[in-house]
Structure 1
Amino acid sequence: MRRLFRDVEGGPLCPQGSVVCIGAFDGLHLGHQALVRAASARARAAGLATVALSFEPLPREFFAAAAPPPRLTLPRAKVEGLRALGAEVVGLLRFDARLAAMTAEDFVERVLVGRLGAREVWVGPEFRFGKGRAGDLALLQALGARLGFRAEAIAPVALDGERVSATRVRAALAAGAFEQVARLLGRPYAIGGRVVLGNRLGRTLGYPTANLRFDGRTPPLAGIFAARVHGVGAQPWPAVASFGTRPTVGGGEHLLEAHLFDFDGDLYGRRIEVEFVARLRDELKFESLPALVAQMHQDAALARRLLGLEPQRAHA
């Protein structure tokens, strides 16, 4: 059974019962993975469905809509990651004013019991839920005793003596510490999506790019990067990538642009992932296109070296 649902209202989704884990799951770091795997193992042992329950937008995005915090994982990648960890049913509840006003008790009765038939509920450290964040593990356990489910929190997952968290991942990304990010995530950090049509300026400047949008969300990093692109060939394709708003050419929306070295082909419409390897510099506004192109040559040469490629012949 593989199912995705968005709504609080509706009929039962797991009539035979379920084990539910709840979280933002932004980034799917080691702590999130431990939570989903724990719930999945319990569900398998009991012959129940595994449910991973999250929200879109994330509550912190909803409450800070004017200046939303950086987002690590887009919804599609989150769903795919949760399924890969063993979730058979994934809930991305629409977090709006109605859901924000729902009491913790109503959430438990209507969603966890009514829709999901929860027999066990697993949460992370410091979990809070419901209107005004009034609900916590103790309330879950009290309601569970009355409504017929068990509630537990997993132990914190630590790395280098400190709890793994999305906050740590964001800080490491902002610092360009990609090896640390990979340790926190258990995998290299990458952003995936479908290649969209850009303004083709890169092609005229000698650097055609595969462009990915970030769905209007605030990205957790910006600048110029050495990268590897997955989904193009049998092996990750070396690239230099820019993630930002393109100030020199009057851009506004956050756009991830990847120039694949020595690649000749059409990627429009293809789903790819851009893996970040090393941060080269900040995004800058240049006084002219020739100045921008000169810097692009330097960026490409540095990215090639960092990725172990042979230097390219000088541009004519």
Structure 2
Amino acid sequence: MTTRVEQLSDVTERVPTFVAIGSFDGVHLGHQAVLQKMVSEAQSVEARTAVLTFFPHPKRVIQQVSEPYYLGTLDQRVTRLANLGIDLIITHPFNETVRQTRAATFVDELCRYLDMRQLWGGNFALGYNREGDIPFLQKLGEERGYTVQQVDALVMWQGERVSSSRIRRSLLEGDLQEVNGCLGRPYCVSGTVIGGKKMGRTIGFPTANIEFWDEQLLPANGVYAIYAGLGEERHLAAVNVGVRPTVNGSAVSVEAHLLDFDMDIYGHTLHLDFIDRIRPEQKFTGLDALKAQIAADVAQVRELLSGN
């Protein structure tokens, strides 16, 4: 069973622990490779496994990145880490105090609260000005009683290294094949179904308007084939991400038309697994043209997903 705490000082049990530190945004194939190896090694010596993941993302604080950036919510990240067999997940806040913390001080806290025996990661650094690089941490480990396990995290997809930045670039291009390949699963956007203008219902294609987390990065504006998770059910759906130019929309919205479905689901949570992009968003001459295109989109979604 996985335990979750909000900061390092909340850990109440000090036992020998293998620790991985990082943002782990998206928990992509590279992250998975490091953590699966750590879990395997820890289990062989009956040690606890822990991930300390920062939130907000350090770039929000250091580089003051303000636009949508995350590849999923913090709860989604925790769930995916837990599914890898991690025993303890620390969603440590990243703020100016943490930013200014010296590497040796941070390591001492890891040893104090966790009894850290191994520190895992790829080519990483921690502490003020990233002073805690691999040689620094290895030398400090000789004094503090832990070892550094640097794992070659160069997991490849289609001949290129998997990384969170690569996934973000692909999302902005609407390349879901690339995104999902690097993640090892479909890209997911979740949210509560809220009321909208009900324009879709008037043309025979009712949609669920999703109240998504505005800090999560959305795929490029367009129409997508997705699976919509509603409780234990899964439905084929066509989703429009964009500003709805034909009906004079402005703010970006996410609207899902669930195929062969007609139920009131206001207030329910939908989990949208993006599979492929059908087309970019476009403005039509009127509602009849829009209706005809949506019908074609739905047919394409059905053809793409019905066999899966």
Alignment-derived partner of residue 120 in structure 2? 122
Alignment-derived partner of residue 232 in structure 1? 230
Distance 2:206 2:60 in 1: 33
Alignment-derived partner of residue 314 in structure 1? none
Which stretch of structure 1 is more off in the superposition, 257-266 or 26-35?
257-266
* 1:262 has 2:257 as partner: no
Distance 1:169 1:249 in 2: 31
Structure 2 residue aligned with 1:305, among 277, 300, 303? 300
Alignment-derived partner of residue 149 in structure 1? 146
Distance 2:294 2:97 in 1: 48
- Asked whether the equivalents of residues 224 and 240 of structure 1 are also in contact (C-alpha less than 8 Å), the reply is no
Distance 2:27 2:199 in 1: 33
Distance 2:288 2:117 in 1: 60
Gaps of 5+ in 1: 311-316
Alignment-derived partner of residue 176 in structure 1? 174
* 1:132 has 2:129 as partner: yes
Gaps of 5+ in 2: none
* 1:274 has 2:269 as partner: no
Distance 2:291 2:74 in 1: 32
Distance 1:295 1:53 in 2: 48
Distance 2:288 2:112 in 1: 59
- Asked whether the equivalents of residues 190 and 276 of structure 1 are also in contact (C-alpha less than 8 Å), the reply is yes
Alignment-derived partner of residue 96 in structure 2? 97
Amino acid in the other structure paired with 1:86: G
- Asked whether the equivalents of residues 227 and 274 of structure 1 are also in contact (C-alpha less than 8 Å), the reply is no
- TM-score between the two structures when normalised by the length of structure 1: 0.84
Alignment-derived partner of residue 214 in structure 1? 212
Which stretch of structure 1 is more off in the superposition, 14-23 or 87-96?
14-23
Alignment-derived partner of residue 47 in structure 1? 46
Q: CA deviation at 1:260?
A: 0.8
Identity over aligned pairs, percent: 32
Alignment-derived partner of residue 313 in structure 1? none
Amino acid in the other structure paired with 1:4: R
Name the SS for the 1:196 alignment partner: strand
Distance 2:118 2:298 in 1: 49
Distance 1:300 1:26 in 2: 36
- Asked whether the equivalents of residues 5 and 11 of structure 2 are also in contact (C-alpha less than 8 Å), the reply is no
Q: In structure 2, do the counterparts of structure 1 residues 12 and 78 end up closer, same or farther at CA, with 3 Å as the change threshold? A: closer
Give the length in aligned residue pairs. Answer: 302
* 1:83 has 2:82 as partner: yes
Matches within 5 A, 1:18-33: 18-33=17-32
Q: CA deviation at 1:259?
A: 1.4
Distance 1:63 1:250 in 2: 34
Amino acid in the other structure paired with 1:298: Q
Q: In structure 2, do the counterparts of structure 1 residues 123 and 235 end up closer, same or farther at CA, with 3 Å as the change threshold? A: same
Structure 2 residue aligned with 1:197, among 194, 197, 200? 194
- Asked whether the equivalents of residues 227 and 276 of structure 1 are also in contact (C-alpha less than 8 Å), the reply is yes
- Asked whether the equivalents of residues 170 and 220 of structure 1 are also in contact (C-alpha less than 8 Å), the reply is no
Alignment-derived partner of residue 295 in structure 1? 290
Q: CA deviation at 1:162?
A: 2.5
- Asked whether the equivalents of residues 6 and 91 of structure 2 are also in contact (C-alpha less than 8 Å), the reply is yes
- Asked whether the equivalents of residues 52 and 87 of structure 1 are also in contact (C-alpha less than 8 Å), the reply is yes
- TM-score between the two structures when normalised by the length of structure 2: 0.86
Distance 1:309 1:33 in 2: 28
Q: CA deviation at 1:249?
A: 4.8
Let me know the Cα RMSD of the aligned residues: 2.7
Q: In structure 2, do the counterparts of structure 1 residues 69 and 260 end up closer, same or farther at CA, with 3 Å as the change threshold? A: closer
Amino acid in the other structure paired with 2:101: M
Distance 2:65 2:181 in 1: 32
- Asked whether the equivalents of residues 182 and 188 of structure 1 are also in contact (C-alpha less than 8 Å), the reply is yes
Amino acid in the other structure paired with 1:100: R
Distance 1:226 1:144 in 2: 49
Q: CA deviation at 1:15?
A: 1.6
Name the SS for the 1:308 alignment partner: helix
Q: CA deviation at 1:195?
A: 1.9
Name the SS for the 1:167 alignment partner: helix
Distance 1:268 1:19 in 2: 44
- Asked whether the equivalents of residues 223 and 280 of structure 1 are also in contact (C-alpha less than 8 Å), the reply is no
